[in-house]
Structure 1
Amino acid sequence: MVSVVRSLRHHSDEVTCCAFSPTLLATCSGDKTVRIYDTADFSELPYSPLSGHGYAVHCCCFSACGSYLLTCSTDGSTIIWSAATGEAAAALQHPDRSPVRVCALAPDSSLLLAGACDGTVAMWNFDSKTLRRCSAVSEASVVACCFSPCGQMFVTGCTKGDIKLWDLDVSLLHAEKDAHDLGVTCCSFAPQCEFDGCCVEFRLASCGQDSQLKIWIVSQHGGAGSDMKLLHTLSGQSAPVLSCAFSSDGEMVISGSACLFLCKPVLVCHAHPVRFIPVPIPSHRYVTAVAVSPTMPWIATGSMDKTVKVWRIGNGDSGIEKVLDQNAVFSHQEASRKLPGHSRLLVADWSEEDVGTWLREEGLEELVSILKVNNIDGPELSQLNKETVAELGIESVGLRGRLLRKIEALRVEQSGSEAPDEFLCPITRELMKDPVIAADGYSYEREAIKSWLTAKNKSSPMTNLPLQTTLVTPNRSLKMAIARWKSSQ
């Protein structure tokens, strides 16, 4: 029904966003980088990773033609990259250098939106790279924005939970207060529209910290204004929903939280419940990002475990319909029992067949027969090192190196030896060496917060509110805890 095509483990921090063009997949992360893959074989392009941002990268998106890639970051910038060369065509600095959480391009690539932590959106002319206007749209951080398919409206969502509809002059058309309790996390328009006389209707998906996915009808009534009405609320997910996206035909919505959810709300009668199918995520800690290919039956998911997985829906022909035509709705546990053996929790449980499945997922198909001939199961795989791998008869030095790197990544993933999040600096997302407490009560790496305060005019990296003082205090207890954790590894 839904199967993993490839697992990508190149990021060193949680994956924050994924985006497809017709031929490329882009992923970005808290590790400050953007990585680009060719969807022909999901190999990383020679110019990847892109490293123009100074802090965590929160969002990435392609232009409709796929020629340009947009990324935005805590460093307050939105960068336009050439998808062909990886060169930065422009770096647009948000007014007041506020951290930028989300960016979006109009369907015709004429306008660019950037939503920031200070509650503003900056609208830029894409061709001239000039600022058209910067307007306050919320009292809270703007974390979601997207243009309507007609390009004449856009939606914003904030951490306060409101969703607002705007025209291109940033005049408010409609506001949904508390659309998602505890905050909106993502918004996405279906690519199609419907006509009803002089009224044009669009479908909008939104998700939030309230563990709900909502489908809205956004109506444009010619000269009579615009409005939004709630069509469906899906509350089958047990954790905050951090991302959502429509399929290219607009008939399916994919959302990510503790599971990957597939649902078909558009063609379902209003009087009947929406069908949705939860898909368990092997080796994913939590789904933070979802993207759908415009040309292939693929879904990309990013996770807090630093991995990106590419999924195939069905058999690649009419896979979406085949998935949605299933009569049964599986629970997480039921679906987990149907997974192949390699997705069990411990590598020690893997059979030789599970090892072969894992190798194929990691793009090491040529090693399947070699490891099978040598009767390598899970326990044997976890013990392989440079010397024993050489004894297997793998002639290619590069192939041996790739296998060892994959095994090491698997060991880290299985052992849970990643640094606790509280040991990482919120600015650099790196393990702190000299943690200090700032006036906002958060702990940072000393050099990182000093650089931030110099550039950001006394604003908090976490709240974006003014700091009463720039003085910092050493956090000795945290420093000792980090030292103890490092000595235990």
Structure 2
Amino acid sequence: MVKLIHTLADHSDDVNCCAFSSSLLATCSLDKTIRLYSLSDFAELPHSPLKFHTYAVHCCCFSPSGHILASCSTDGTTVLWSAHDGQALAVMEQPGGSPVRVCRFSPDSSCLASGAADGTVVLWNVQSHKLYRCGNVRDGSLVACAFSPNGNLFVTGSSCGDLTVWDDKMRCLHSEKAHDLGITCCDFSSHPVSDGEQSPQFFRLASCGQDCQVKIWFVSFSHVLGFELKYKSTLSGHCAPVLTCAFSHDGQMLVSGSVDKSVIIYDTNFQNILHTLTQHTRYVTTCAFAPNILLLATGSMDKTVNIWQFDLETLCQGSTEDHLKQFTEDWSEEDVSLWLCAQGLKDLVGIFKMNNIDGKELLNLTKESLADDLKIESLGLRSKALRKIEELRTEVKSLSSEIPDEFICPITRELMKDPVIASDGYSYEKDAMENWISKKKRTSPMTNLVLPSVILTPNRTLKMAINRWLETHQK
């Protein structure tokens, strides 16, 4: 379940972008301002709104540490701000003064990329605030940008529909038409994946565009093997241009927002729709997941930003035991506070914060520690907190007996008995895949691309793994 927990309505014009740090939410607007909110109670910070830009602010983003906020505007500038006190640290002018449409920090915070309406993309040195390197796309305005998680490359998207890939020295590695009517946004998943073949490590890249489509790509780059960009699939759901997309912090979900006023949340592993949110009354222009995955922000031309919260049942859909356990153990103190509020335990937030209770500590709390260490005097509160914590531990533990994702046939969604490998690199139940090929004219169930071959090879290694799992879990 996803529930709307807060609506921010402070901007006086269209909301163009929103971005999270571990403790703050930033939003920017056509009204020329950037606003900052605390994630603990969604109160606007005393030094907000930030004012400098003389025209619309198109994009804002935090540095990975969360200490610096960047914003860019039609006025041709990219500004660095202190997230702590809102002071402007630097003003960087785009060469030629063209309107700046997008800005992104590199994973190590050393560089900031800014893309402009004239097709220029600039890498700025964040420490010196000097221009490091500059390049141009072949045609159109530059409207989207994303750095790979390892920082080896970054991708830009243009209003002409081209995805262009650059290395960290600003050399163009590749460019291709990705969306017929223009790209609007792109984002990398921070977690590596495998495409089922003997290949280098890949990262998922999502792109969306005016053609109403959200596309998934696999991107790899190494100095030995070079660069590769592979189209994998198209996600359906929107009936109008898609303006924004973003991966969750753990890569398990992808969210998109559209001119059709809807927000769609996908499971990235199975590429099915988990939720469709329809509370905005005008175009959805921006969306962002918090680093902790508990929160999602969506912004719109209706001048509002909606904050959504996921419960654990939602997080468990399509997830493995390790995913949920890692998620819970990685909760920050703020995440624990949000969880307490969601469980009706708001009175304990101050006590938990005072004792620095994070996700790992939360899972280890006992009846004795609640009374003796946290000194929660109310027996009723202690009992309720212990019950909720035990429910949380049970949800994590119960997943240990669930069927691993890799044992499930993508077609039947059931445990495979006779797995085979198709020419797309994925494994399927033999009977189901043979039936699929006969009816679907050789297309891949996972990518929708034409299969290079209809030969199915028995996956004996996977079958042995399934049999071993059955021996230990189905006694």
TM-score by length of 2: 0.65
- When residues 193 and 323 of structure 1 are mapped into structure 2, their CA distance, relative to the original with a 3 A threshold, is closer
| Counterpart contact for 1:36–1:44, Cα < 8 Å | yes
**Which runs of structure 2 are paired with 1:306-317 in the superposition (5 Å)?**
306-313=303-310, 315=311, 317=312
1:249 to 1:318, Cα distance in 2 relative to 1, 3 A: farther
The Cα offsets for residues 331-390 of structure 1, whole Å up to 9 and x where unpaired, read as xxxxxxxxxxxxxxxxxxxxxxxxxxxxxxxxxxxxxxxxxxxxxxxxxxxxxxxxxxxx
Matches within 5 A, 1:86-97: 86-97=86-97
**2:254 aligned partner:** 253
Give the aligned partner of residue 285 of structure 1. 282
- CA deviation after TM superposition for structure 1 residue 221, in Å: 4.0
* Alpha-carbon distance, 1:86 to partner: 0.4
Identity in percent: 51
**Contact 2:25–2:36 (CA under 8 A) maintained in structure 1:** yes
Counterpart of 1:10 in 2: which secondary structure? Answer: coil
The separation in 2 between residues aligned to 1:85 and 1:72, in whole angstroms, is: 19
Aligned equivalents of 2:150, 2:319: Cα separation in 1: 28
Deviation at 1:253, TM superposition (A): 0.5
Contact 2:152 2:168 in 1 (8 A): yes
**Matched-pair contact (CA < 8 Å) for 2:250–2:293:** no
Q: In 2, Cα distance between the equivalents of 1:298 and 1:138?
A: 37
Structure with bigger RCO (C-alpha 8 Å, 6+ apart)? 1
Give the match for residue 294 of structure 1: 291
* Partner SS state of residue 51, structure 2: coil
Structure 1 letter corresponding to 2:152: Q
Partner in structure 1 of residue 183 of structure 2: 184
- Aligned residue type for 1:17: C
Kept in 2, the 8 Å contact 1:146–1:189? The answer is yes
Confirm or deny that 1:305 pairs with 2:302: yes
CA contact (8 A) 2:74 2:99 kept: yes
CA contact (8 A) 2:262 2:280 kept: no
Q: Is the 8 A contact 1:101 1:142 kept in 2?
A: yes
1:136 aligns with 2:136: yes
Aligned length: 319
Offset of 1:294 from its aligned partner? 0.3
Any idea what the Cα deviations from partners look like across 1:246-276, whole Å, max 9, x if unmatched? 00101111111121111122x33xxxxx211
Which amino acid counterpart does residue 71 of structure 1 have in structure 2? Answer: S
Contact 1:15 1:304 in 2 (8 A): yes
Q: Match of 2:101?
A: 101
**Which residue is 1:321 aligned to?**
316
Deviation of the 1:112 alpha carbon: 0.7
Alignment match, 2:211:
210
Give me the whole-angstrom Cα distance separating, in 2, the residues matched to 1:324 and 1:205: 20
**SS of corresponding position for 1:249:** coil
Please state if 1:275 is matched with 2:281. no
Instruction: Output one character per residue of 1:79-115: Cα deviation in whole Å (capped at 9) or x when no partner.
Output: 0000000000101111111100000000010011000
1:237 deviates by 0.7
List alignment gaps of at least 5 residues for structure 1: 269-273, 326-489
Distance 1:7 1:26 in 2: 14
Structure 1 contact 53–75 (Cα < 8 Å) conserved: yes
Are 1:224 and 2:263 counterparts? Answer: no
SS of 1:46's equivalent?
coil
Q: Is the 8 A contact 1:263 1:324 kept in 2?
A: no
Q: Is the partner of 1:86 in helix, strand or coil?
A: coil
For the Cα contact (< 8 Å) 2:56–2:74, is it kept in 1? yes
Matched AA of 2:173: L
Aligned AA (1:241): V
Deviation at 1:281, TM superposition (A): 2.2
> Are 2:81 and 2:88, in contact at CA under 8 Å, matched by a contact in 1?
yes
Does the 8 Å contact 1:297/1:319 carry over to 2? no
Query: CA separation in 1, counterparts of 2:280 and 2:145?
Result: 30
CA displacement at 1:278 relative to structure 2? 4.3
Cα distance in 1 for residues equivalent to 2:299 and 2:138: 28
Contact 1:144 1:186 in 2 (8 A): yes
| 1:324–1:212 distance in 2 versus 1, CA, 3 Å | farther
Could you tell me which residue of structure 2 aligns to residue 111 of structure 1? 111
Q: Contact 1:259–1:278 (CA<8 Å) still a contact in 2?
A: no
Q: CA RMSD in A?
A: 2.1
CA contact (8 A) 1:13 1:29 kept: yes
2:241 corresponds in structure 1 to: 240
Letter in 2 for 1:189: F
Q: Return the alpha-carbon distance in structure 2 between the equivalents of residues 194 and 4 of structure 1.
A: 31
**Contact preservation (8 Å) 1:284, 1:307:** no
| TM-aligned CA deviation for residue 300 of structure 1 | 0.3
- String of CA shifts for 1:47-88, please: whole Å, max 9, x gaps: 000011010000000011110101000000000000000000
In the TM superposition, 1:325-404 aligns within 5 A as none
SS of match in other structure, 2:181:
coil
Aligned partners of 2:40 and 2:318: how far apart in 1? 24
Give the Cα separation in 1 of the matches to 2:180 and 2:40. Answer: 41
SS class of match (2:315): helix
Shift in alpha-carbon separation, 1:183–1:151, aligned structure 2, 3 A? same
